[in-house]
Amino acid sequence: MASCSYCDSFILFGGRTDSSGYYCSSRCQQAGNLLALAGQLPRQELERLANEAHHANCPRCGGPGPVDVHKAHQVWSAIFLTSWSSKPELSCKSCATKRQVAAILFSGLFGWWGIPWGLGVTLLQIARNIIEMAGGPRPGEPSPLLLKFVRLQAGARLAQQPARPSWPPALPATVATPPVLRTVEQPLMSGISAPGDERYMPKA
């Protein structure tokens, strides 16, 4: 059984293949191609961009960094329906903690009411938030998730340039960059933003 080269999901049927990998969907293929394009850049340049992102001001509160990708986990239920999510966002540790506390309160109020998953998933999401609050990315260096996120954004910029390397295959003219929530307002950081869909975050 094969797995997606980008999101690591198992592929039972179908899938898309090109020279950069095997993907479960067109969206994962686009994201995988962006990461492959970023591989054309020197490692030192990618590290510079990651450090720049890490030391930028927080895009949520405008305060000083370090900034990294933090996740908040929440769940809500309604009788036989239970929906849960893990939302990553680029922010400072203080803003991340506020989001995680809010996610704990939301899950505590609205997560219990589903049958049969509500109680178990609520406890799981609350525990994941507590773990994120206690640990999370190290403040002294960019996390692997931030490093891969910077690669994804660098690949998106290369894809928009008129002349692109011939490998991997050129992306369609209508290729969409990953979904974004916020943009860091720094001259050297234009375009660095954090997606709100965990599936399309770069995998650490």
In whole angstroms, what is the distance from residue 33 CA to residue 19 CA? 9
Q: What is the pLDDT of residue 165?
A: 52
Summarised one tens digit per residue, pLDDT across range 123-170 is 999 999 999 999 888 888 899 889 888 888 888 888 887 765 554 554
Q: Residue 28, Cβ neighbours under 10 Å: how many? A: 23
> At CA 135, angle to CA 71 and CA 100, rounded to 5?
35
pLDDT digits (tens, 9 = 90+) for 168-197: 554 444 444 444 333 333 323 333 444 444
CB 90 within 8 A of CB 69: yes
pLDDT at 148: 85
110 pLDDT above the threshold of 80: yes
Where residue 14 falls (left for φ over 0; alpha for ψ -120 to 50; beta otherwise) is: left
């030192």: which residue's tokens? 44
What is residue 60's predicted lDDT score, i.e. its pLDDT? 92
